[in-house]
Structures are given as structure tokens and as C-alpha cells.
């Protein structure tokens, strides 16, 4: 499950490596395009995270090389949020992209999605501790008791449960639940989480929804 | 037109020369024809005179022999090598022939007592006058003629001279025209020189009124362009300055609190608090940069709109759902009465309306209702966000959509919008060819998005 990071910016490479290692993935880092090319030729990776602005062999070149030889998922990072860049990356066969500066939670969520792709089937019943969500009947129970949720509260809980243990950024939540694909300057997500907590967590001693300060929210059973 | 010279002066001079050539040509043709007619008339008069004199001689002479014996008389009379004289008898026999040899008498119709005139084409051509007289030996035909060669030669020479004069006149007209045009176009060159002297630092300069009325339109247009450029530049400069100031605040916070925290050892919790606080500032900066990029990109109109039919009611419901929680926390209600289909970029329209709704939630009075509605008016298709609350001063209304504009300068970034939210709304509307304006008074505040009437809009039946 090794992930290769090709990134010439030392600080970026460093925090991405640390973060992925803390999330439990083995990581290798290449700081130049040439190094990246050698590693790609020698080893097999589950995922390649590629900065497209590299000295020497640039990211596009590496991407072409990767696509010629394997089906390894590729996520490219770019500081230039030009539409042409995104289109070019996706046309060359990249699986996903992030524009710098990106939120770390967002990055980790995307990495997880890429590694999981084609893997686990979406479950119809989700459960964490004594919280259960039945997708087909649109029912939620906590400790056996029925919890009444609005549509959006249900969607929010579904997202959190489906990504159990993953920290979700406010941006991700707004985009997944309300299709708001831009940063609105409001605390809508915080309000929604607060209301969901009032129904899910407040009546119970064990809390499941947790705030990760400065990052976002996560649903998990903590010991 | 590509064959025309690029220089306006040369073009004018050429047209001048052309006009002169036409005029001179017409005059030359008129003069030439007058002259030719005059010469022909005089020649004819001479021929007729000669016939008359011959008739007198015949009357005086007893017979033709006597006449023939007075050669000196008619030698003198004829005088030159161009003239011919024949006297024929009734049988058509030449009795007397004077003049250069080798000419046969051309057949002539009988004259009816009066003297007739005719030109006989041939080599060479002749002009003849003839008449019949009763002589002592019966009727005689008198024919006086003149060779036309000399006249033709003279006229040909005249034609050549006229042609030369015409050409010379045209050339002179060209030169004169060039001089006049160069001089006449001097105001244009002066205008160009003055315009060229205006650079970025002197955009406030204007082209002063010159003497020529024809250039006033051009001058006004250039001045208008300068005014727009100046406004644009001023806005850009102000914007860069604002941007620097806006970034200074979060950067100042970041630097200050980080340095303060590092000044001595602290607990893990303190560090955590610092990082969280820093994260908030970073997000503020990132959001600002995002908005800036969005604005920069929508202002280069190359940004492509993805137009599609958008159901307004559905979009409004979505947005109300999104802001529902927030509204409830502030004791406010959201009401969506928008309806119909509008062809627009869904994402951008959603963003514009989200910004307006967020704004209404921020400034609306608690316990009131925020209404999202749509209407078709004379000006276009309108989508309106209305909220109750304190009125916005009339002096602020025109500036609300400027970047970083704040009604109250002391209130720093209320709601972290950073002062770009409404600027983004305006950008989005301009991309759609529409506009946005705000009205505010005792009945609350209305933000109106206006789409041009030609935008495809359908009112659904429900």
C-alpha cells in the first residue's frame, strides 16, 4: 500500500509524508522529476501524488510515463488553478487533482477515496457503536430509540457514517450534502452539525460526532 | 482599395490630381472642338469666297481661253500648294485645272444653283465647294478645293500640346494637393502627438479642444477612452492597495500571535490554540485569494459560462435548505417564491444567490422573514432577495458591489466575507450580461439580480 509523493517543495513533501504515515500508509518521497521517474520504473505503488510543477522532468511527463506502464491511480497537485491545467491533467489520465493551497483533511479524504475506488460496496446499513442508519428505510436509531431527522440531517449523518473515522472538512461537507462547491463565508456547516448533535449525541453519554479543531468533523466511537 | 497609398495626404493628393485631370480634360476637349470648328468654318468661307471670285472672273472673261490666259491672276489668287481649282464644262470635261497635279475630279452631285460644300474622304482628304454658272460657252461647273492634310497636322500638333498641358496640370495638381493635404492634416498629426504623449502616469490629461470641428468627434472619443482607462487604472490601483491592507490584517495576526507564543515555553494546549487560531487566519487568506482569482477570471470574459435551464424554485429550495439552520438560529425565516426556468450558469447563479442570502442573514433583523422571489419586468428578468432590517444609507448603495467596500469602515470583516461577496455577485451578473443593484428603505433591503430580457425564461404552469 505504498504511496509515492513527487514534490519538490520540501515543506509540502514533508507534511504530506508525515500526514499519510500517521494515517497508516507507507510513503516514499521523490523531490525531483528524475528521481520520481526512477522510482516509478523500479517499484509498484498504490497511489502517486504528483506535483506538476517540477524541475527537470515535469509532472505531465511523469503522468504520461505512468499511464503508459500501469493503472496506478494518480492525484496531481497544482498551484495554478487554470482550467486548462485541470483539463490537461484529467485528459492525460490523472484520477483526481487538488489546487494549492488545499485543506489537509480534503487531501486525506481524496487519497482514501482513490485507494478505496472500486473496493467496498456502499452498504445499506451503517452502524457505529449503538448508532444505526438504514439507508433503504431512511431510519436512524440510537441505542434502539428512533431518531427523527430532516432530509439534510439524514444526508449529513450518512456522509459522516460512511466515512467513519475520517476527518471531513467543512468544504467537503458543504459540497457533499448541499452541492455548495465553493467556500461560503458562513458557519452553515457548524450550525448543521450542532443541530445533528442535539438529536444524535446530546441525549446520550457517549458522544460520536467530534470536532477536530481547525480541520473539521469526524464521526467515530472513541474509547 | 488596397492599391491606394497608406498615406492619407498622398491619397488626398491623388484624388485632387484625378479631379483636376477630369476637369482639365473636359476644358481641353471643349477648346479643341471650338478651335476645330472655327478653322473649318474659316476654310469653308475661303472656299466659298474663291468660288465667288471665279464666278466674277468668268463673268468678266469672254471665254475660257481668255481666262486661261490670265494665269497670273489665278496663280496669285490660289497662292499656295494646298488649293485646287477645276472648271468643268457641261460634258464633265476638265477645262481648267489649277493646283498640285495628280488629283482626279471626284464625282459630285449637281448643285441646285447654290454653292454646295462637301468633304471627300480619301488619301488625301479634300474639302470641296462647287457651283454651276452660265458661261459664254454654256454651263460650267466651278469646283474649289482644299487639301485637309495641313489642317489635320496642325490640329494633331494642338492635340499633343493639350495632352501635355493636361498631364502637367495633373502633376501640378498632385503636388499642390499633397502640399495642401499635408498642411490640412496637421491638426491630425498634432492630435496624434498629444495622444502619444499621454502615458500611464499622465492619464488625467485630456486632449484639449483644437481648432478643427471635424476632429472633435475623434477627440471626444479619445477623451472618453482616457476617462475609462483612468477610472480602470484608479480602481486597479485602489484594489491592489486594498488587497495589501486586507492581507496585512490576517498576516499581522499570524506573525504577532506566533511570535508572542514562541517567546517562552507553553503548554501543549496553548500551542494547540495557537495553531487553531492560525488555521482560521490561513483559511481567511485562502478564501480571499480564491475570491480574488474568481473575480480576476470572470473579468477576463474568456471565462466560459455553462448555460443550462435552471429551475428557480428548485434552486431556491436548495439554498433555503442550506441556510435553514443558520436562519433558525437567528430566529429568521426563509421564504422561496421564485419560479420558472432561467437559462444561466447554475453554479454561478447558485453562488450569487448564496452570497446574497448569506448577506441578508448577516444584516437582517431577527424574527423577520427573508424572501427569495422572481419577476419579469420591463427591464428584464429579476431575482430578488429581500430582508427586513436597518436601512443601508443611500450614499453606500452605489458602492456596495465594489471590492472591499464597507459601509462602516471601523467594522472589520463582519462574517469574514472579506468584502468580496457582493463584488462576486456583480461579476457573475456581468458575465450573464445582466446587472445587480440594491434598494434600501423603511420596508427593508432588496438586492435585485436583473437578467437581460433576451435571456431565455419560461414561467412554468404550476
Which chain B residue has its CA at the smallest distance from A183's CA? B287
- Asked which of A8-12, B414-418, B455-459 is least confident by mean pLDDT, the reply is B414-418
How far B382 CA sits from the closest chain A CA (Å)?
A: 23
- Range B307-458: architecture per CATH: 2-Layer Sandwich (3.30)
Residue B335 — very low, low, confident or very high, per pLDDT cuts 50/70/90? very high
Q: Tell me the three cell numbers of residue A133.
A: 442508519
Instruction: Assign A103 a pLDDT band (cuts: 50, 70, 90).
Output: confident
The string of pLDDT tens digits covering residues B172-199 is: 999 999 999 888 888 888 888 888 888 8
- CB of A178 less than 8 A from some CB of B: yes
Higher-pLDDT residue of B266 and A120 is B266
- CA nearest to B21, candidates B185, B156, B164: B164
Fold classification of B8-169 is Beta-Lactamase (3.30.450)
- All residues at 6 or more sequence positions from B157 whose CB lies less than 8 Å from its CB, including other chains: none
Number of residues assigned to chain A: 223
Between B115 and B436, the more confident residue is B436
pLDDT of residue B6: 81
Inter-chain CB proximity A185 and B321 less than 8 Å: no
Shortest CA distance to B84 belongs to which of B59, B66, B108, B111? B108
> What pLDDT does A122 receive?
63
B324 and chain A in contact, CB less than 8 A: yes
Question: What number of C-beta contacts closer than 8 Å exist between A and B?
Answer: 61
Q: How confident is the model at residue A158 (pLDDT cuts 50, 70, 90)?
A: very high
Contacts of B298 in chain A (CB under 8 A): none
Residue A52's contacts (CB-CB under 8 Å, 6 or more residues apart) are A58, A59, A60, A63, A76, A77, A78, A85, A89
Would you say how long chain B is, in residues? 462
What residues in B contact A184, CB-CB < 8 Å? 354-355, 358
Q: Is a pLDDT exceeding 50 seen at residue B462?
A: no
Between CA B149 and CA B170 the distance in angstroms is 31
In the predicted structure, residue A142 carries a pLDDT above the cut 80: yes
Domain boundaries, chain A: 3-116, 125-219
B90 touches chain A (CB under 8 A): no
Per-residue pLDDT, B459: 59
- Extract the C-alpha cell encoding B104: 482626279
Could you report the predicted ipTM of this complex, rounded to two decimals? Answer: 0.75
Q: Give A152's contacts in chain B (Cβ within 8 Å).
A: 321-322, 324
Q: What is the 3-state secondary structure (H, E, C) of chain A?
A: CCEEEECCCHHHHHHHHHHHHHCCCCEEEECCHHHHHHHHHHCCCCEEEEECCCCCCCHHHHHHHHHHHCCCCEEEEECCCCHHHHHHHHHCCCCEEEECCCCHHHHHHHHHHHHHCCCCCCCCEEEECCEEEECCCCEEEECCEEECCCHHHHHHHHHHHHCCCCCEEHHHHHHHHHCCCCCCCCCHHHHHHHHHHHHHCCCCCCCCEEEECCCEEEECCCC
| Percent residues over pLDDT 70 in chain A | 95
DSSP structural state of residue B461: -
pLDDT reported for residue B195: 85
Q: Which residues contact A37 (CB under 8 A, 6 or more apart)?
A: A57, A62, A65
Residues with Cβ within 8 Å of B121's Cβ and at least 6 positions away in sequence, in order, are none
Contact between chains at A191 and B326 (C-beta distance less than 8 A): yes
**A181 at interface of B, judged by CB pairs closer than 8 A:** yes
CA dihedral B285, B289, B292, B297 (to 10 degrees): -170
CA distance A45 to chain B (A): 32
Q: Cell 464597507 maps to which residue?
A: B406
**Nearest residue of A to residue B319, measured between CA atoms:** A178
Using CA atoms, how far residue A38 sits from A32, A41, A94, B4, B14, in Å, is 10, 5, 19, 65, 73
Beta strands in B3-149 (DSSP E): 83-88, 94-98, 116-120, 126-135, 138-147
- The β-bridge partners of B311 are B341
CA pair distance A96, A110, nearest whole angstrom: 8
Between CA B376 and CA B184 the distance in angstroms is 55
Interface test with B, best of A182, A192, A196 (most B CBs within 10 A): A182
Q: Which of B102, B109, B65 is nearest to B87 (CA)?
A: B65
CA distances from A169 to A106, A141, A162, A213 (A): 6, 25, 15, 10
% of chain B beyond a pLDDT of 90: 27
In this predicted structure, the answer to whether residue A78 has a pLDDT above a threshold of 80 is: yes
pLDDT tens digits, B340-389: 888 898 988 999 999 999 999 988 999 999 999 999 888 788 999 999 98
Contact partners, residue B384, CB within 8 Å, separation at least 6: B371, B372, B373, B374, B375, B446, B447, B448, B449
Q: What is the mean pLDDT of residues B113-127?
A: 80
Facing residue for A184 by CB, picked from B324, B329, B354: B354
3.40.50, 1.10.287, 1.10.3480, 1.20.120: CATH of B213-299: 1.10.287
Per-residue pLDDT at B414 exceeds 50 = no
Distance from CA of B309 to the nearest CA of A (A): 17
Nearest to A101 among B280, B286, B325 (CB): B286
pLDDT at B413 over 60: no
CA torsion angle for B403, B408, B412, B416 (degrees, to 10)?
-60
Least Cα separation, residue B280 to chain A (angstroms): 7
Any idea which residue has 438560529 for its cell? B329
Whole-angstrom Cα distance, residue B145 to residue B48? 10
**Whether A126 contacts A133, CB under 8 Å:** yes
> What are the residues whose beta carbons fall under 8 Å from the beta carbon of B230, sequence distance 6 or more?
B203, B204
Which positions in chain A touch B293 (Cβ < 8 Å)? 81
pLDDT at B77 over 70: no
Query: How far is the C-alpha of B312 from the C-alpha of B256, rounded, in Å?
Result: 47
- Per DSSP, B398 falls in state G
Shortest alpha-carbon distance between residue A68 and chain B (Å): 32
d(CA A199, CA B457) in angstroms, rounded, equals 42
Residue among A101, A195, A215 minimizing CB distance to B325: A195
Kindly list the domain boundaries of chain B, sorted by start residue.
8-169, 213-299, 307-458
Interface check for A182 against chain B (CB to CB < 8 A): the answer is yes
Is A185 close to B326, i.e. CB distance below 8 A? no
For residues B277 and B246, the model is more confident at B277
Rounded (10°) angle between helices A170-178 and A188-200? 80
- Residue of A180, A194, A214 lying closest to B322 (CB–CB): A180
Give which of B444, B460, B334, B337 is closest to B391, Cα–Cα.
B444
- Do the Cβ atoms of B355 and A184 come within 8 Å? yes
Q: Using CA coordinates, name the residue in chain A closest to B282.
A: A101
Give pLDDT tens digits for B19-49. Answer: 999 999 999 999 999 999 999 999 899 888 8
Task: Show Cβ contacts of residue A85 under 8 Å, excluding neighbours closer than 6 positions.
Answer: A52, A78
Contact yes or no for B346/B308 (Cβ under 8 A): yes
| Locus of grid cell 435551464 | B309
Per the CB < 8 A criterion, the answer to whether A126 and A158 are in contact is yes
Chain B hits for A180, CB-CB cut-off 8 Å, are 322, 350, 354
Band of pLDDT at residue B72, cut at 50, 70 and 90:
low
Question: Which residues in B lie closer than 8 A to residue A183 (C-beta atoms)?
Answer: 286-287, 290
Nearest to A183 among B275, B278, B287 (CB): B287
| A101 close to B (CB below 8 A) | yes
Strands (E), B169-317: 307-311
CB A39 within 8 A of CB A30: yes
- B246: chain A residues, CB-CB within 8 Å: none
Q: Which among A218, A221, A188 has a CA at the least distance from the CA of A204? A: A221
The pLDDT score that the predictor gives to residue B457 is 63
> Residue B460's pLDDT band (boundaries 50, 70, 90)?
low
Q: Closest CB to A183: pick one of B276, B282, B290.
A: B290
Return the C-alpha cell found at B310: 435552471
Nearest-Å Rg of the Cα atoms of chain B is: 51
Kind plus residue range of the DSSP H or E element containing B151: helix B149-184
For chain B, what percent of residues have pLDDT higher than 70? 90
CB contacts of A195 in chain B (<8 Å) are: 325
Residue B422, classed as helix, strand or coil, is helix
Read off the pLDDT of residues B79-88 as tens digits, 9 standing for 90 and up.
567 788 888 8
pLDDT at B461: 43
A125-219 CATH, one of 3.20.20.220, 1.10.10.10, 1.20.1250.20, 3.40.50.740: 1.10.10.10
Chain A closest-CA separation from residue B244 CA (Å): 19
CA distance B351 to A183: 9
User: What class, spelled out in words, does domain A3-116 have in CATH?
Assistant: alpha beta
Q: Give per-residue pLDDT as tens, B278-331.
A: 988 888 888 888 888 888 777 766 567 788 899 999 999 999 999 988 999 889
Q: List CB contacts of A180: < 8 A, sequence separation 6 or more.
A: A174, B322, B350, B354
To the nearest whole Å, the CA of A126 is away from the closest chain B CA by 24
- Give pLDDT tens digits for A16-73: 999 899 888 999 999 988 898 888 888 888 899 998 888 778 888 888 888 887 778 8
Amino acid at each position: 500500500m505504498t504511496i509515492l509523493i513527487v514534490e519538490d517543495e520540501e515543506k509540502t513533501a514533508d507534511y504530506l509524508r508525515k500526514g499519510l504515515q500517521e494515517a497508516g500508509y507507507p510513503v516514499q518521497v521523490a523531490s525531483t522529476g528524475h528521481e520520481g521517474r526512477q522510482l516509478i520504473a523500479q517499484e509498484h505503488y498504490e497511489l502517486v501524488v504528483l506535483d506538476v510543477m517540477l524541475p527537470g522532468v515535469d509532472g505531465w511527463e511523469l503522468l504520461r510515463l505512468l499511464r503508459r506502464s500501469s493503472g496506478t491511480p494518480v492525484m496531481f497537485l497544482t498551484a495554478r488553478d487554470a482550467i486548462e491545467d485541470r483539463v490537461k491533467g484529467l485528459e492525460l489520465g490523472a484520477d483526481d487533482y487538488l489546487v494549492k493551497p488545499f485543506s489537509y483533511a480534503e487531501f486525506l479524504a481524496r487519497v482514501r477515496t482513490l485507494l478505496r475506488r472500486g473496493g467496498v460496496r456502499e452498504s445499506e446499513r451503517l452502524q457505529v457503536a449503538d448508532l444505526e442508519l438504514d439507508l433503504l428505510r431512511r431510519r436512524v436509531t440510537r441505542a434502539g430509540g428512533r431518531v427523527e431527522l430532516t432530509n439534510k440531517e439524514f444526508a449529513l449523518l450518512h456522509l459522516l457514517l460512511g466515512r467513519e473515522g475520517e476527518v471531513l472538512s467543512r468544504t467537503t461537507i458543504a459540497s457533499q450534502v448541499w452541492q455548495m462547491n465553493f467556500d461560503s463565508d458562513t458557519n452553515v456547516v457548524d450550525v448543521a452539525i450542532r443541530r445533528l448533535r442535539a438529536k444524535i449525541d446530546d441525549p446520550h453519554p457517549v458522544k460520536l460526532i467530534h470536532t477536530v479543531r481547525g480541520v473539521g468533523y469526524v464521526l467515530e466511537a472513541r474509547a | 482599395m488596397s492599391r491606394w497609398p497608406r498615406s492619407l495626404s498622398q491619397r488626398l493628393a491623388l484624388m485632387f490630381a484625378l479631379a483636376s485631370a477630369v476637369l482639365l480634360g473636359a476644358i481641353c476637349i471643349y477648346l479643341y472642338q471650338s478651335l476645330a470648328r472655327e478653322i473649318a468654318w474659316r476654310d469653308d468661307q475661303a472656299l466659298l469666297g474663291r468660288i465667288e471670285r471665279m464666278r466674277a472672273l468668268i463673268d468678266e472673261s469672254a471665254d475660257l481661253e481668255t481666262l486661261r490666259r490670265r494665269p497670273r491672276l489665278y496663280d496669285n489668287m490660289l497662292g499656295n500648294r494646298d488649293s485646287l481649282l477645276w472648271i468643268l464644262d457641261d460634258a464633265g470635261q476638265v477645262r481648267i485645272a489649277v493646283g498640285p497635279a495628280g488629283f482626279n475630279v471626284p464625282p459630285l452631285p449637281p448643285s441646285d444653283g447654290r454653292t454646295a460644300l462637301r468633304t471627300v474622304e480619301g488619301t488625301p482628304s479634300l474639302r470641296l465647294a462647287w457651283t454651276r454658272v452660265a458661261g459664254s460657252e454654256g454651263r460650267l461647273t466651278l469646283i474649289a478645293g482644299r487639301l485637309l492634310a495641313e489642317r489635320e497636322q496642325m490640329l494633331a500638333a494642338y492635340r499633343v500640346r493639350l495632352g501635355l498641358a493636361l498631364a502637367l496640370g495633373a502633376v501640378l495638381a498632385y503636388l499642390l494637393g499633397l502640399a495642401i493635404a499635408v498642411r490640412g492634416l496637421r491638426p491630425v498629426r498634432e492630435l496624434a502627438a498629444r495622444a502619444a504623449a499621454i502615458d500611464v502616469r499622465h492619464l488625467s490629461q485630456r486632449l484639449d479642444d483644437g481648432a478643427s470641428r471635424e476632429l472633435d468627434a475623434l477627440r471626444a472619443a479619445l477623451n472618453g477612452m482616457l476617462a475609462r482607462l483612468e477610472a480602470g487604472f484608479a480602481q486597479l490601483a485602489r484594489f491592489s492597495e486594498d488587497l495589501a491592507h486586507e492581507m496585512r490584517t490576517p498576516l499581522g495576526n499570524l506573525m504577532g500571535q506566533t511570535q508572542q507564543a514562541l517567546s517562552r515555553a507553553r503548554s501543549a494546549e496553548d500551542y494547540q490554540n495557537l495553531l487553531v487560531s492560525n488555521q482560521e487566519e490561513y483559511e481567511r487568506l485562502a478564501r480571499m485569494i480564491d475570491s480574488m482569482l474568481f473575480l480576476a477570471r470572470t473579468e477576463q470574459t474568456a471565462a466560459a459560462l455553462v448555460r443550462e435551464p435552471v429551475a428557480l424554485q428548485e434552486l431556491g429550495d436548495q439554498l433555503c435548505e442550506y441556510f435553514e439552520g443558520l436562519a433558525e438560529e437567528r430566529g429568521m425565516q426563509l421564504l422561496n417564491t421564485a419560479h420558472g426556468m432561467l437559462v444561466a450558469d447554475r453554479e454561478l447563479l447558485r453562488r450569487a444567490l448564496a452570497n446574497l442570502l448569506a448577506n441578508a442573514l448577516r444584516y437582517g433583523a431577527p424574527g423577520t422573514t427573508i424572501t427569495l422571489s422572481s419577476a419579469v419586468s420591463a427591464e428584464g428578468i429579476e431575482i430578488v432577495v429581500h430582508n427586513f432590517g436597518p436601512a443601508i444609507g443611500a450614499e453606500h448603495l452605489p458602492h456596495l458591489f465594489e471590492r472591499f467596500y464597507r459601509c462602516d469602515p471601523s467594522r472589520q470583516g463582519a462574517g469574514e466575507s472579506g468584502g468580496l461577496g457582493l463584488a462576486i455577485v456583480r461579476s457573475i451578473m456581468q458575465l450573464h450580461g445582466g446587472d445587480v443593484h440594491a434598494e434600501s428603505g423603511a420596508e427593508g433591503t432588496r438586492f435585485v439580480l436583473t437578467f437581460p430580457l433576451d435571456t431565455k425564461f419560461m414561467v412554468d404552469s404550476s
